[in-house]
Structure 1
Amino acid sequence: MHGLSMLPSTLLLTFLFEATFFFSLACRSQLVRHSCFLLLLWILYTTVLRKSSSPPANSDVGYAMLLLLQTWIASDVLVLTKDLHNTFRRLDKKGRIDTDISSAPFTERLVWGFSLVTNPRGIGWEHGSSPRLPYNQDRADNPRIQIDSRKHFLLHKNIALIISIGYFRLSSYITRSSVSSFLQIRIKDDFVWGFITSVVYVSRVVAYCNSLHLGLVIVMVGIGVWDYQQCPPLFGDWTEGYSLRNVWGRVWHQLLRRILKSHASFILSLFRISPNSTYRSSYYVIRSLTAILLSGLLHQTMASISPPRKAYNTVFSFLTGPDMQFFFSQALGVMLETVGMWMWRSLYSIAAKGRNEKEMGKDEVKCIRNRYWHYSRVIGYLWVVSWCSWTVQRHMNGVVGLGLMHDPDFDPRKFELNPPEMWKWLKN
């Protein structure tokens, strides 16, 4: 990057990128969409991927990450999706599919493309086969949160925004002060220290992402662009995080779910692996693991454009970077978890066969099943906490080792996702 926020030519290329993207979404011809995608790749390389001798500014890094993410989205909707307008039909509240937008005038298709990209749920949820989030995570229908009007929704979200920003800024002061070094001296156990620092970092990320999402939702719903029923919480129910698969498939934000799943399916198709192949029974597991690795590739690419760029000056250093290692460990954890769950179910099945359920009363059978369910949840929570604490700690140790956390000009009053100072005292 060459001072992206300073060069008029870069601003012009940025405008050209956005205009090309929205124009391509309105085009009926697949050839035209592919040609537009090649232009987007050229702009991405010219403004972001081409190395510069001068380190980029923080604002430039944010811009570059946004442009990189949009290119991934464009790869999905412009290249991998053959029938774009038919695939992303919007559903109404009654579940009826809208008419095919491809027959509409160009200006109407242009507006449709804009609504597709700016959808508050991410591309694919409202313009796909179901208007709901995966695993019924549409929290607008949650009986614990009765939101029956836009005013009630905005009040609830403003309170949530104040809490998120307050926690984020408070944690900035705590982690960049002597409190973190005091805790490190007092806590001698490596696992406990890793658990505390992992919770601090993950909660900061959640608060940061929630604040940005809530701020955007409040504005868009307030001016009437979005319907409050279209804007469920960014993150799912944390009580469902009793397995790694649930953490990444239900609890964590699902804004990248569509593009990761489509690229994973494309990669598997290159190896002739499909739901109808001989690998049908394990296809969806393989696709989930591939999607996790692709997420690591995306995050590692974002990290590679952050200063100092010399941290990833070879292909090997890039492929073995902290982000790739972290998401690879998550894929490994999902595999171990799948095997463990299979063994646990087998033990339960063997125990059930040892006692004839027909000879037991309904209450006794229900009691045994409830006990199995509670044991499963407790073991699951302990497993997730242990694995995530270990992998997050290893990830942040790698980031610290590469010098990606050195920020002498850090100001906690600014709303920036700067890694906490606590990580500088992580034990290896």
Structure 2
Amino acid sequence: MVQAFLDAKLEPTPSYTLPLLFFVFATGLSFHSRLVRAGFLAVIFAIAYRTVVHTSTGEAPMNYIYATSSFFLFFNALDFLAITDSYAEFRLAGQTVSPSSMSFFPRFLWCWKLILTPRGIGWAHEPKSVIPPRPKPQSRISFIISQLPSTVLLVFVADAANILLRSHPGFLPGGPSITDVGPLMRFMNVFLFATSSFYALQLQYKLLSIVATAVGLSNPENWPNLMGSWGDAYTIRRLWGRTWHQLMRRWVSAAGNFVAQRVLRLTPGTNLSAYTKLFIAFLISGIIHQMGDYSLQHRDFWAGGSLAFFLSQAVAIMVEDGVIALGKRAGLKDGKHIRLLGYCWTASWFAFCLPMWIDPYFHDGMASGELFSPIGGLWTGDWTGASVKIPLPLRY
């Protein structure tokens, strides 16, 4: 009822919003003049702001996708159009010709390639040490066939995680806090949310890789897994820096370097510089997700918990780094027992801090949309999965 009232005051979100943002971004990057680029950056911000504040799709989850995607592109554009000299900084692997010397159309195509590879796959700035290994060179047909078994598996894993998540009243619109459970269930909350998000994103990426390869837009070796290994998540820093997707790494790092070195003039390599960059990275992530929080119901901007949650990650990593440093001074060495302790610490941290983000996130309707559920369809005939509920040990 409240959403319908709010939507009546908002304009419908144009379906072409995201393609328009990409087009404005690529066009602006095609110009040599930084002043002209700045003008395009202002246009991108105006479109992103209007999308979040003045429009609605009528569905909370879709509002969230439009809002976070719009500001994701804005901060990416902030790096490529304003902070970084993109023509001097970026090169495709093996590229010898400067994009500044290209004619407009080849340069425009180069810009598209740069924008559509946020992890820098196939570029000189690709962070190979934190990106999963690339697939071996192979034919398109071979790649597509090799991706099908894992994609089918991901469909069912993501669906199962989503059914479990929607069986938990704390993850439903207007539900109780996810803290309103027993101590063991606090850890299960982390598992439900993390696996649902992790495998849903991985599934979307797999499907995109198949389509892009099938139509000839990309090569098989340009599609390493989106997510890293859960085995790397024995510290909070490693979870965010290796296990989670690295789609934002390039431009949150650029913004952090800009603030630390060019604005604050901090000495590179010092703790003050490093942690300033860390806070800037999580600040940007928090702003993007906070915009999504606001778009769910278009109420108080500060009602969402994303900004506090993501900034708290930087604080936790600082504490974690300090404890690790003390442990090394005490003679502790990396090993199975230390890593087991690290997994317990990481899980405990998220069991503690996750509610500040996802309580308002889900209570405002992030899980209110209908999804395709093969498990629901095969089990009960309900292909949305809405009627499938799994008993959870909420009291434990």
What TM-score comes out, normalization by structure 2 length? 0.81
Which stretch shifts more, 245-254 or 257-266? 257-266
How far residue 47 of structure 1 moved from its aligned partner, in angstroms, is: 3.5
Q: Deviations over 1:318-351 (max 9, x none)?
A: 5xx32122212211210111111011111107xx
2:346 corresponds to: 384
How far residue 123 of structure 1 moved from its aligned partner, in angstroms, is: 5.0
2:6 corresponds to: none
1:359 corresponds to: none
Gaps of 5+ in 1: 350-368
Q: Deviations over 1:284-332 (max 9, x none)?
A: 23312331232112111121112x122x25xxx25xx321222122112
Aligned positions of 1:93-172 closer than 5 A: 97-119=95-117, 122-129=118-125, 131-135=126-130, 137-140=131-134, 149-172=139-162
1:322/1:398 contact within 8 Å kept: yes
Aligned positions of 1:13-162 closer than 5 A: 17-50=21-54, 58-81=61-84, 83-92=85-94, 97-119=95-117, 122-129=118-125, 131-135=126-130, 137-140=131-134, 149-162=139-152
Greater C-alpha radius of gyration: 1
Residues 62/425 of structure 1: CA separation in 2 closer, same or farther (3 Å cut): farther
Residues 240/305 of structure 1: CA separation in 2 closer, same or farther (3 Å cut): same
1:363 corresponds to: none
1:173/1:412 contact within 8 Å kept: no
Q: CA RMSD in A?
A: 3.6
Aligned positions of 1:3-402 closer than 5 A: 3-5=12-14, 11=16, 17-50=21-54, 58-81=61-84, 83-92=85-94, 97-119=95-117, 122-129=118-125, 131-135=126-130, 137-140=131-134, 149-177=139-167, 190-269=182-261, 271-276=263-268, 280-306=270-296, 308-310=297-299, 312-313=300-301, 317=302, 321-348=304-331, 373-399=335-361
1:161/1:211 contact within 8 Å kept: yes
Identity %: 21
**Aligned residue-pair number:** 370
1:413 corresponds to: 373
Distance in 1 of aligned mates of 2:51 and 2:232:
41
Gaps of 5+ in 2: 1-9, 375-382
Say which SS state the counterpart of residue 348 (structure 1) adopts: coil
Amino acid at match of 2:128: L
Amino acid at match of 1:236: G
1:134/1:250 contact within 8 Å kept: no
- Structure with the larger RCO, 1 or 2 (CA within 8 Å, 6+ apart): 2
How far residue 50 of structure 1 moved from its aligned partner, in angstroms, is: 3.0
Residues 100/236 of structure 1: CA separation in 2 closer, same or farther (3 Å cut): same
Q: Deviations over 1:249-292 (max 9, x none)?
A: 1111000111211122223246524344xx73442233123312
Distance in 2 of aligned mates of 1:291 and 1:385:
22
Distance in 2 of aligned mates of 1:232 and 1:164:
16
Amino acid at match of 2:41: F
Distance in 2 of aligned mates of 1:258 and 1:126:
14
Q: Deviations over 1:198-248 (max 9, x none)?
A: 101110001110111111111112222212111110011221111111111
Distance in 1 of aligned mates of 2:217 and 2:18:
24
